[in-house]
Amino acid sequence: VTTSTGPLGVFDSGVGGLTVVGALLRRFPSERVLYVADQAHVPYGERPLEEVCGFATEISRFLASQGCRAIVMACNISSATALPSVSARLAPRPVLGVIAAAVRRAVLPPLLPPSQGWEPRIGVLATAGTVRSGAYSAQIRRLNPGARVIEVACPRFVPLVEAGELETEAACAAAREYLAPLAEAGCRTILLGCTHYPFLLSTLRRTAAELFDVPVTFIDPADEIADALRAALFDLGQVHHSAPNLLLTTGDPDVFRAQAPRFLPGAAFAVAPACWTSEGALSLPDRSAT
Ligand code: DGL
């Protein structure tokens, strides 16, 4: 049931979607966020696309069942696989994905007619599954058929971020490996096609300064998706809450409680567990599980 006072539902496989929660809380400081980190299944990026689609569909259903009046898939691979079907199922509740937001930001600002000879070369760093889905190339070419898109799968990034390894030697080595083909291709715009990656921005910027002979712009879709949500909520009216934001994890709540302040500094929230049942449903344990 949609209520005009329900929280904003957000989810990801782990801490990555907190980049989007941070942007939402900056835009909507008095809104209440209900977040699911599916840490029982992280990383999503190496899993079959149908399996990720199943998780994303169930988590969205769960968030809707908790009264969320809008749902943000703060997860690229979920957006690539489940957005159209979940949007249709949960309509008229707004369901937003990060891919369209990221692409708008990368492609629209410098939009020039191809007749002027401008051929953007856009690099996309993403998980293996998102690259396999082809969603970024398709969306970018839809908006700008002349764009050249180079996608690089970055399987080591998500485990590094989940472990809090944002600036270690392992993070720098991975960044060098994944940025090298984009430097070679002469990309000037690099989309962060996974919500975990903005946490690696300082490592990425430092590595790019070594590898690229031109300045590069990294695109984090978090602010763009927050703007898109604001537009979607306009019709529903602005509602203010005082209840705390709630971050649920399907992993260990004590670990997530220790991780989250580093990834979401300054925000007020409570952390609680959610669990996958043997029937594949997501639910709240104990007394809240009705
Ligand atoms: N942060 C997610 C994304 O944007 C998922 C990363 C993963 O679990 O592999 O795709």
CA triplet 81, 84, 87: central angle to 5 degrees? Answer: 120
Q: Which two tokens stand for residue 193?
A: 């096609």
**Residue 218 near residue 130, CB atoms below 8 Å:** no
196 pocket-lining for ligand 1 (C-beta < 6 Å) = yes
Atom of ligand 1 nearest to the CA of 45: 9
pTM: 0.85
CA distance 180 to 208: 9
Q: E strands, 164-230, where?
A: 189-193, 217-219
Q: Helices 135-143 & 76-90, crossing angle to 10 degrees?
A: 70
CA distance 133 to 193: 12
Residue having the nearest C-alpha atom to atom 2 of ligand 1: 75
**Residue 245 near residue 272, CB atoms below 8 Å:** no
Write down the pLDDT at residue 19: 95
Write down the pLDDT at residue 1: 38
Residue matched to tokens 């344990």? 285
16 pocket-lining for ligand 1 (C-beta < 6 Å) = yes
Q: In the annotation, is 75 catalytic?
A: yes
- Residues of the chain short of pLDDT 50, as ranges, are 1-3, 109, 111-116, 287-290
253 pocket-lining for ligand 1 (C-beta < 6 Å) = no
Write down the pLDDT at residue 237: 63
* Mutation probe of ligand 1 site: the residue of 10, 12, 133 with most atoms within 8 A of C-beta: 12
Residue 52, Cβ density class (10 Å: 0-12 exposed, 13-18 middle, ≥19 buried):
buried
Q: 3-class SS at 25?
A: helix
Distance 94 CA to ligand 1 centre (A): 21
Q: Which residue from 96, 98, 94, 97 is spatially nearest to 235, judged by alpha carbons?
A: 94
Could you count the other beta carbons within 10 Å of the beta carbon of residue 63?
28
Q: pLDDT tens digits, residue range 49-62?
A: 999 999 999 999 99
Q: pLDDT tens digits, residue range 63-109?
A: 999 999 999 999 999 999 999 999 999 999 999 999 998 888 877 64
Write down the pLDDT at residue 283: 93
Q: Which residue from 6, 3, 21 is spatially nearest to 195, judged by alpha carbons?
A: 21
Write down the pLDDT at residue 244: 72
CA distance 230 to 28: 8
Q: Which residue from 84, 75, 6, 83 is spatially nearest to 39, judged by alpha carbons?
A: 75
Q: In the annotation, is 194 catalytic?
A: yes
